[in-house]
C-alpha cells in the first residue's frame, strides 16, 4: 500500500485515574493533565466502559476507540472480538497497591457476567534502588494457602521478587501480585477490569477497610506459584532500531523498541500499539514525544521512525 491510500496512524487522548495510592509523576514526568498528587493510572490505549480513549486525529475528532473499533474494523485487521482486545496503562504507585489476583477467561465469563479474565505484564519504567514487587506466593498446596490466608500469615505467604528499572514481568491469571511504592510501570493487559483483592495491609480508606474478595481469590490463585526465577526478564542490552519481542502469549505480543537516529519497522497483519516512554522524534513525519500513545493500523507497511525514543509496543492475538 502506498502512503496516499493507507490508513492514518491513530493518536489517542489518555484517560487519567485518580487513586488513593497514586502520585504526581504522571503529570510531572509525562505531562498528563490534570495536575494532582493522586494520579494513579494513565489509560493510554483503552476501549473499556470504565475508560475509553478519544481519538486526537482531526478526521475522527471526539470519537472513542471503542466506537472506531466497531465502525472501522478494517483499521485493525482480522479480529472477531466485539471489544478492542488490549488495555495499555502507565501506573504511578506512590504507596503500595493492595495484593490482588485476576481470574482467567473461563472463571470471569462464568462469575463476572461474561467479562474477560486478565493476563497482564509490566515493564518497569522506574523504581527505587532495592525495589521488590509481589509476584507469586509460598504455599505448596491449596490447603496450605487457605490456612495461611485465614490465619493472616501474610509475611510467610507473599513472595517478593527484586526488580530493577528495565525489567519485564508477565503476570498470568491466578498469580498473586502487587505493585509497590515508588514503581512507575507500563502495563499491557487483556481488556478487563476484574480484580480480586486478597490483602490490603489492614489499611483504612475514609475510615474503613477496602472490600476484600477472599473467596474469589482462593478460587483462582494458582498453587503452587510459577517459580520466581522464570518471572523476570532483563531488557538492558537489546539491539536498537528493531522490535525486540519481550513476551508472546495467547493474548498479546509485547516488544521493546529503542530508536536511535533513523529506523524502518515493518509490521503487518495486525495493528500495533505504541507508547513512548522516553525521548522525542518523528513517526512518518508526525512529531512524537514521551507520553504519546498511538496505534499503527493493520497492513500499514513500513513505519519510518526518527529520533531518540524508548517505546513499548504490542499487538493482539
Ligand atoms: Zn493486576
Beta-carbon neighbour count of residue 151 at 10 Å? 10
Omega into 224 within 30° of 0, i.e. cis? yes
Measured in Å, residue 309 CA sits from the centre of ligand 1 at 27
Residues in contact with 48: Cβ distance below 8 Å, sequence separation at least 6, in sequence order: 66, 83, 87, 191, 193
CA distance to 46, 218, 257, 262, 267, per residue, from 313 (Å): 14, 33, 7, 18, 11
Measured in Å, residue 35 CA sits from the centre of ligand 1 at 25
What are the pLDDT tens digits along the chain (317 aa)? 444 468 999 999 999 999 989 999 999 999 999 999 999 999 999 999 999 999 999 999 899 999 999 999 999 998 989 999 999 999 999 999 999 999 999 999 999 998 899 999 999 999 999 999 999 999 999 999 999 999 999 999 999 999 999 999 999 999 999 999 999 999 999 998 899 999 999 888 889 999 999 999 999 999 999 987 778 999 988 999 999 999 999 999 999 999 999 999 988 779 999 999 999 999 999 999 999 999 999 999 999 999 999 999 999 99
3-state secondary structure of 296: strand
Judge contact between 139 and 157, C-beta under 8 A.
yes
Q: Is 210 a catalytic residue?
A: no
The rounded Cα 174 to chain-centroid distance in angstroms is 17
Measured in Å, residue 256 CA sits from the centre of ligand 1 at 21
Measured in Å, residue 172 CA sits from the centre of ligand 1 at 9
Instruction: Please tell me the pTM assigned to this model.
Output: 0.94
Cα dihedral across residues 275, 312, 46, 194: positive or negative: negative
Beta-carbon neighbour count of residue 128 at 10 Å? 12
Catalytic hit among 6, 25, 159, 197: 197
Judge contact between 183 and 230, C-beta under 8 A.
no
The rounded Cα 269 to chain-centroid distance in angstroms is 22
Residues in contact with 182: Cβ distance below 8 Å, sequence separation at least 6, in sequence order: 93, 94, 127, 128, 131
Task: Give the pLDDT of residue 5.
Answer: 62
DSSP 238: P
Q: Which residues pair with 252 in a beta bridge?
A: 316
Residues in contact with 276: Cβ distance below 8 Å, sequence separation at least 6, in sequence order: 288, 289, 290, 291, 292, 293, 309, 310, 311
Measured in Å, residue 100 CA sits from the centre of ligand 1 at 7
3-state secondary structure of 101: strand
Cα dihedral across residues 194, 200, 203, 209: positive or negative: positive
Task: Give the pLDDT of residue 80.
Answer: 86
Task: Give the pLDDT of residue 37.
Answer: 93
What is the rounded distance in angstroms from the CA atom of residue 183 to the CA atom of residue 95? 9
What is the rounded distance in angstroms from the CA atom of residue 186 to the CA atom of residue 169? 11
The C-alpha torsion from 169 through 173 and 175 to 180, rounded to 10°, is 50
Task: Give the pLDDT of residue 2.
Answer: 46
Measured in Å, residue 102 CA sits from the centre of ligand 1 at 6
Nearest to residue 119, comparing CAs of 106, 137, 132?
A: 106
Measured in Å, residue 168 CA sits from the centre of ligand 1 at 14
Measured in Å, residue 220 CA sits from the centre of ligand 1 at 13
Task: Give the pLDDT of residue 1.
Answer: 44
Amino acid at each position: 500500500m502506498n502512503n496516499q491510500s493507507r490508513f492514518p496512524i491513530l493518536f489517542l487522548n489518555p484517560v487519567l485515574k485518580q487513586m488513593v495510592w497514586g502520585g504526581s509523576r504522571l503529570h510531572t514526568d509525562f505531562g498528563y493533565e490534570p495536575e494532582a498528587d493522586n494520579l494513579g493510572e494513565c489509560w493510554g490505549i483503552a476501549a473499556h466502559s470504565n475508560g475509553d480513549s478519544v481519538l486526537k486525529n482531526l478526521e475522527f475528532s471526539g470519537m472513542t476507540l471503542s466506537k472506531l473499533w466497531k465502525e472501522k474494523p478494517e483499521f485493525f485487521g482480522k479480529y472477531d472480538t466485539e471489544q478492542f482486545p488490549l488495555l495499555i496503562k502507565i501506573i504511578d504507585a506512590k504507596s503500595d497497591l493492595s495484593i490482588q489476583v485476576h481470574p482467567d477467561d473461563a472463571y470471569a465469563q462464568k462469575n463476572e457476567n461474561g467479562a474477560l479474565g486478565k493476563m497482564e505484564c509490566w515493564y518497569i519504567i522506574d523504581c527505587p534502588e532495592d525495589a521488590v514487587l509481589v509476584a507469586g506466593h509460598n504455599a505448596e498446596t491449596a490447603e496450605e494457602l487457605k490456612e495461611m490466608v485465614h490465619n493472616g500469615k501474610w509475611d510467610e505467604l507473599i513472595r517478593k521478587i527484586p526488580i530493577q528499572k528495565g525489567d519485564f514481568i508477565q503476570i498470568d491469571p491466578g498469580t498473586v501480585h502487587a505493585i509497590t511504592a515508588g514503581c512507575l510501570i507500563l502495563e499491557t493487559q487483556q481488556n478487563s477490569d476484574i480484580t480480586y483483592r486478597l490483602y490490603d495491609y489492614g489499611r483504612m480508606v475514609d475510615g474503613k477497610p477496602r472490600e476484600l474478595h477472599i473467596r474469589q481469590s482462593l478460587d483462582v490463585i494458582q498453587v503452587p506459584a510459577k517459580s520466581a526465577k522464570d518471572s523476570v526478564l532483563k531488557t538492558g542490552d537489546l539491539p536498537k532500531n528493531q522490535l525486540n519481542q519481550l513476551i508472546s502469549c495467547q493474548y498479546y505480543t509485547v516488544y521493546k523498541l529503542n530508536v536511535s537516529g533513523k529506523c524502518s519497522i515493518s509490521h503487518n497483519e495486525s495493528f500495533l500499539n505504541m507508547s513512548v516512554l522516553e525521548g522525542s522524534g518523528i513517526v512518518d513525519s508526525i512529531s512524537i514525544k514521551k507520553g504519546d500513545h498511538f496505534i499503527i493500523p493493520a497492513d500499514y507497511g513500513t513505519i519510518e521512525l526518527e529520533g531518540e525514543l524508548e517505546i513499548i509496543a504490542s499487538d493482539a492475538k
